[in-house]
Amino acid sequence: MKVFESLCKLVPTAHATSPSPFNPLSLLPGLFTLTPLTTIAQRTLRRGTSLLDPLVLAPGLHLQPTATDLHKGEYPACAALNSGYVFRVENPPTVYFLQRVGRTGCLTDLKVSAQASSPSRFLPTCGEALASLGYYAAVGCSVFAAQRVYALNDIWALFFISNLIFIRLVNFLVLRRRSRPGWFGAPEPGVQGDLFILLSQDRWVRIRGSVDDLKALTSGTWLCEPTALETFFGAVVKLLVYANMAVAGRATDAGVCIIVAMLLVNGGLLALDDLRMRSLSMYGRTMEAVGEPKRYLRRRDLAEQLIRESGRDDWAVAMGLIVKNRASTGKSEGVTVTM
């Protein structure tokens, strides 16, 4: 009984010495950071990594390493109209871009070209820079937010922002190591290629350009498998994202408001940039749409047109577009086409 009475006496004393009551506002920075938005992952998939990435702080920044999962596991069938070979597009960024530009019941024409002015995947060209004004505005917003919390002498809010920058820096270094150019097949200099791709939801895409450029964007994969060290650092930054929520609980209300405003503004800027992007950049090559998608009332009309243009129909047999017993390797007249 005496022990119980002693504990009861300690309870009010503990409440009296507590630093401050719980502030629900302090949960917002952590909750906004953990919001499962994929704007940063989408930009990474379409533009790769950039030296300014650590300064772009937006909701969902911890999901950047999952960029290769945005294509939802689809590997569409692809036919080389010039040679008749049929294979699959294995590169996740390319598949994701095709899914974004493709339209149901329409043929979308794309062209692939080399970037003479920027051979690196990590430095943007002049055109890319103009299309990424929101990205650079987000960098300025993050720097401004860090300067404001420093002026307020809010050490915990500054520590929260510093942790986010460190998390982005580690992800940038890991992704840069994993995105080394890999297997592209045998080089075929001077040869032009013409690819036809069947996507889900009856979306059709045609890509034309140099064979070497086409191979660079459709062959192999963008990110190699992580090493044990890269996996370790990836796990560490994931834990830091959740641990950062405790840091925000010690920040002042003004610091919390600045962090929340920064996350909201940066998230909106990156989303606007993503809506305006109409091209894919990778390994010094650019893939972009040519004209508007052309609608077809029936798949048969599309198949017959491509067979006439390519002068062969063996690729159509392999893709299941025409009946096998009516196929040939030369020009076809009146082929039977499946729906």
244-283 CB burial, b ≥16 within 10 A, e <16: bbebbbbbbeebbbbbbebbebbbebbeebbeebebbbbb
Tokens for 280, please give them.
């894919």
Structure confidence by residue, pLDDT tens digits, 150-187 = 999 999 999 999 999 999 999 999 998 888 777 777 77
Of 212-221, 231-240, 318-327, where does mean pLDDT reach its minimum?
Answer: 318-327
Cα–Cα distance measured from residue 25 to residue 251, given in angstroms and rounded to the nearest whole number? 10
CB 78 within 8 A of CB 195: yes
Residue that wins the pLDDT comparison between 323 and 232 = 232
Residue 308 CA, distance from chain mean position: 37
Cα–Cα distance measured from residue 42 to residue 67, given in angstroms and rounded to the nearest whole number? 6
Structure confidence by residue, pLDDT tens digits, 201-211 = 999 999 999 98
Instruction: Give the model's pLDDT for residue 273.
Output: 81
Instruction: Give the model's pLDDT for residue 126.
Output: 56
Asked if the model's pLDDT at residue 298 lies above 70, the reply is yes
Instruction: Give the model's pLDDT for residue 125.
Output: 55
Closest Cα to residue 138, out of 156, 113, 164? 164
78 forms bridges with which residues in the sheet? 87, 197
Instruction: Give the model's pLDDT for residue 129.
Output: 58
If you average pLDDT over residues 90-98, what whole number do you get?
A: 90
Structure confidence by residue, pLDDT tens digits, 48-84 = 888 899 999 999 999 998 888 888 889 999 999 988 8
Of 116-125, 155-164, 215-224, 266-275, where does mean pLDDT reach its minimum?
Answer: 116-125
Instruction: Give the model's pLDDT for residue 249.
Output: 82
Instruction: Give the model's pLDDT for residue 127.
Output: 53
Percent of the chain with pLDDT over 70: 83
Cα–Cα distance measured from residue 266 to residue 59, given in angstroms and rounded to the nearest whole number? 8
158 membership: H or E segment, kind and range: helix 155-178
Fill in the DSSP letter of residue 329. Answer: S
Locate all alpha helices (DSSP H) within 249-313, ordered by sequence: 253-276, 299-310
